[in-house]
Structure 1
Amino acid sequence: MTVQQDSGRDGRRDGPRDSATGGRRVGLRDTVVRTTRAAGEALAQLVSGLGTAFLALLLLLWLAVTAVTSLAGVGLLMAPAVLGALHALAGRERDRLGRRGPEVVAPEPPPTRLRLALVDPTTRRELRWLARHTTGGFALGLLGVLLPVVAVRDSLFPLYWKLMPDDTTATSVGIGDAHSWPDALAVAVLGVGWIAIILGLGPGMARAQARPGRLLLAAGPETDLSLRVAELTATRAAALDAHATELRRIERSLHDGTQNRIVSVTVLLGAARRMVARDPAGADELLERAQSAAEQALAELRTVSRSILPPVLDLGLSGALSGLAAHCAVPCRIDVEVPERCAASVEATAYFVVAEALTNIAKHSGAASATVTVRSRGGRLHLCVEDDGRGGADEEGGSGLTGIRRRIAAHDGTLSLASPPGGPTTLKVDLPCGT
């Protein structure tokens, strides 16, 4: 008996410790996962920035040639093309930064005439960005490519050091020789150091690479934002119109369907109450009809409620889309990678977009398969629906995409549809994740 009591006390004493240990393990695992994911996204951003930095380097060389040859008058002929390339590259960088973070609001289109462009604030800011991105952005992009390579090379060095020629340096930085296992392990420790640098400094390097673009390519204080205000006003008007249309649809569904069913139930119950004394069999038949009408009314209410905000979204976007794919007449593959929940309205919009797209695929495309891909990157939700059908989808042809486009515009999102004759059809949606 004493042993059992001692065991119970030990169990009670060890229980909270075990729970705390388990909690620390879960917390540590979550921290490692978040750190690794952030480092991976930072490396991807650095590499993508290297692409625009390389184009910026080529453009800077072209600009230098144009400036030098302008002294002889020849470069003046190339100046409009150089300015056009500068504005196009700046727009590409804004799109890249917007896909991996907050939107970079573009200023008004700069003037195309050379004399006006030289004094235009937007052009000057783009030139300053070009110089900074060509130098610092290019260097940081190279680090984003080289650091993973040297980390893998050095950390795995003990696995292959004996196969290396004798005159080969041991480390990726070109110093040191490995003649024994301790030397090889020392190189592996250096590789671990590279990994620590990637995990610790990677996100900061990505922010440093993006900072010039976010500061210099965004609309400055001297820029007239009337076009952006007009665009937002139009999207908000479209959102209100879509909201009013949705309310009318719900009211019509309730009035024409559920309300009539409930009125029918009321009439049948009243008739059954009057008949129950003189004709019990007839009253029982009326009650059966009333029960059937009540069940139909309940089913219609459930349908209306699901069309407002599907309860299946409580399972998360992945589970909800998997349910849509399971009921689709065309074999559909779902690939969802959304680490964190988005705003409920954003998830509902994504759900209705996929539902409408799969309905169109099943009815009109003649496709043998479909794929739904969802990714969350940089505070944006990217959704892509593809099918291998006959193509030729037309937004104006009653496909239901007009209402979907209004839903997306209400979130400052974008929708693009590519459906050439013969297929395939690709529907892409970009939405802010919201909070």
Structure 2
Amino acid sequence: MHVQETDRPDGSPGHHRGRRPADRTTDHPVTPLYRHLYRAATEVARAPFTRRAWAEAAYCLIGFPLGLAGGVVLAVVLALGAGLTASLVLAVVGALLLVAGLQFARALGGAHRGLAAALLGERTPVPPPTPSGSGFVGRLDAPLRDGVGWRAAAYVLAKLPVGALGAYAVLWWVTGLVNLTAPLRWGVFGQRPTAGDPEGMPVLTPVPFGGLDADTFAGTWLAVLIGVATLACAPWVTRLVVEGDRRLIRALLGPERLADRVRDLEETRALAVDDSVALLRRVERDLHDGAQVRLVAVAMGLDMIRERLDAEADGKPLDTGRLRQLVAGAHQNATEALTELRDLARGIHPPALDEGLPDALATLAARSTVPVELWADVPQRPTPAIETIAYFCAAELLTNVIKHSGARHAAIGVTQREGLLRLQVTDDGRGGATLGAGSGLSGLAQRVRTVDGRLDIRSPEGGPTAVTVELPLRA
């Protein structure tokens, strides 16, 4: 077991430390690069067969007709309503159409939220209901001022191009699967050149221009190779589209951002107060039940030693054996009290953080029973509170890797970009980590929220797992 400096996973120089298993071959400089290339190749090969890839493809497939139909209808209703509103005679009719369009957008937004929750695990809070006013004018005016409805309408309209991109992503899956059947279609179904039709079997590609034909049976295996390559790329094309859709859902289909922000500030303030109170109670309990008891025992032992020394001064015989026992007991209690005080202080602020977060994380990696690679790029040191939170998050996540994931390898990366400290812990275990599953992630999420941070968990069934913690540099 050793810790060594090496390059970052992307090949650029950096503060990169790793704990290696006791194997002489890991000292070769090519080994880290080979490990990363092997891991990347394995992930690419497994991607088309993962549940996540098929769920994202299904989301794009179902979302395209829903987004197309909903977007076209909403665009027509809003355009017609806006046009009629400009007319003095039909302004009320136009306003009614706009209200109907916003209600329709809310309903479509709910359908898209449900689809994203079912297939992507993207659970967005349901926004508040449409506000209502008094009187005819109030009931007409309040929905028109509904920010949630207008943001839902913006999402439904934005879903038109995003849904088209999703359909294009599904095309990668279709063309890849069809090309895999090329030899079967040639030999069994007779799709080959004939005297009346000299053109060969078309080889499908997701590229919208050009084209290939298989004129011989050997050429059908070229189509198979193209199909394999297309299927290998299909999950990543789909994931790119889905990631853009996720961002739109978070930005447009949830509650008002200002209301969310106020509620988050209230909750994080309460969490910070509860956390500080719990910490004080734990310190008081540990001092009362641990170090205080030891120090009382030391004081009693010293009193007994003083009494025996006073008795010896009065002429009474001195029992040196008993005196040695009392001194040994007092020494043992003092030593144990110091140990408990040191452990208590380490729980509040780990001494390893005195030299900075990278060195503290290197200590964690060196003590892990699972091989851990660490790389860090923190040019500006965060405040002590942020470093402490990042350290305890890394320690808890690494504990989860060891206890629950069944992983053979883990990695810790910490970087600093755009005023944020980004900590990521990954492993090649079985996956399936979620909030509220008894793995301590809920506690981490609360700890991170107290400083306005963010916790992101990507852990599909079968792995790999990647947990990212983003923290401000100053608390």
2:371 maps to 1:331: yes
Shift of residue 83 of structure 1? 11
Matches within 5 A, 1:353-432: 353-393=393-433, 395-432=435-472
Q: TM-score, normalization: structure 2? A: 0.47
Question: Is residue 457–residue 468 contact of structure 2 (8 Å, CA) maintained in 1?
Answer: yes
The C-alpha deviation readout for 1:91-129, integer Å capped at 9, x for no partner, is xxxxxxxxxxxxxxxxx88979x997876678889999x
Cross-structure match for 1:237: 270
State the identity %: 42
Paired position in structure 1 for 2:20: none
Residues 242 and 403, structure 1, Cα contact 8 Å, conserved in 2: no
| 2:297 is the alignment partner of 1:264 | yes
2:340 is matched with 300
Q: Which amino acid aligns with 1:319?
A: D
Instruction: Provide the residue aligned with 1:255 in structure 2.
Output: 288
The 8 Å contact of residues 242 and 406 in structure 1, kept in 2 or not, is answered as: no
Distance 2:438 2:282 in 1: 17
Question: Offset of 1:403 from its aligned partner?
Answer: 2.9
Q: Distance in 1 between matches of 2:81 and 2:325?
A: 101
- Cα distance in 2, alignment partners of residues 262 and 226 from structure 1: 52
CA shift for structure 1 position 311: 2.3
Unaligned 5+ residue runs, structure 1? 1-58, 89-107, 129-216
Distance across 2 between alignment mates of 1:110 and 1:372? 43
| Pairing 1:13-162 to 2, within 5 Å after superposition | 66=75
Spell out, residue by residue over 1:273-321, the C-alpha distance to the aligned partner (whole angstroms, 9 max, x if none): 3334321122112211211211111111111111111222121111111
| In 2: Cα distance, 1:72 partner to 1:257 partner | 74
Alpha-carbon distance in 1 for matches of 2:305, 2:420: 58
Alignment TM-score, normalising by the size of structure 1: 0.51
1:355–1:286 distance in 2 versus 1, CA, 3 Å:
same
Shift of 1:72: 12
Residues 1:420 and 1:227: Cα distance change in structure 2 (over 3 Å): closer
After TM superposition, the structure 1 = structure 2 runs for residues 339-358 of structure 1, keeping only pairs within 5 Å, are: 339-358=379-398
Please give the secondary structure, in 1, of the residue aligned with 2:380.
Answer: coil
316-325 or 280-289, larger mean C-alpha shift: 280-289
Structure 1 345/274 Cα, relative in aligned 2: closer, same or farther at 3 Å? same
Return the offset for 1:332.
0.9
The one-letter amino acid paired with 2:456 is: S
C-alpha separation between the residues in 1 aligned to 2:331 and 2:152?
Answer: 71
SS for the counterpart of 1:241 is helix
Give yes or no for contact 1:382–1:431 (8 Å, CA) kept in 2. yes
Cα 1:392–1:121 shift into 2, 3 Å = closer
* Structure 1 counterpart of 2:343, one-letter code: T
- TM-superposed CA distance for 1:425, in Å, is 2.8
What letter is aligned with 2:412? V
* AA in 2 matched with 1:235: T
Residue by residue over 1:235-290, the C-alpha shift from the partner in whole angstroms, topping out at 9 and shown as x without a partner, is 11011111111111111111111111111111222222333432112211221121
- Give the 4+ runs in structure 1 shifted more than 6 A: 75-79, 81-85, 108-112, 114-118, 121-128
1:239 alignment partner AA = A
User: Contact 2:430–2:463 at 8 Å: present in 1 too?
Assistant: yes
Q: Give the AA of the match of 2:444.
A: I
Q: Sort the Cα spacing of 1:127 and 1:359 in 2 relative to 1 into closer, same or farther, 3 A.
A: closer
Matched AA of 1:295: T
Unaligned runs of 5+ in 2: 1-67, 83-96, 113-126, 132-139, 155-250, 313-317
CA distance in structure 1 between the aligned counterparts of 2:368 and 2:259, rounded to whole angstroms: 44
- Please state whether the residue corresponding to 1:323 is helix, strand or coil: helix
Select between 402-411 and 312-321 the one with higher mean Cα deviation. Answer: 402-411
**Whole-Å separation in 2 of the counterparts to 1:396 and 1:272:** 55
Is 1:282 the counterpart of 2:328? The answer is no
Give SS of 2:379's match.
coil
- Quick one: structure 1 residues 394 and 82, their matched pair in 2 at CA, closer, same or farther if it must change by over 3 Å? closer
SS of the residue corresponding to residue 338 of structure 2 reads helix
Distance in 2, Cα, partners of 1:83 & 1:365: 40
3-state secondary structure, aligned to 1:294: helix
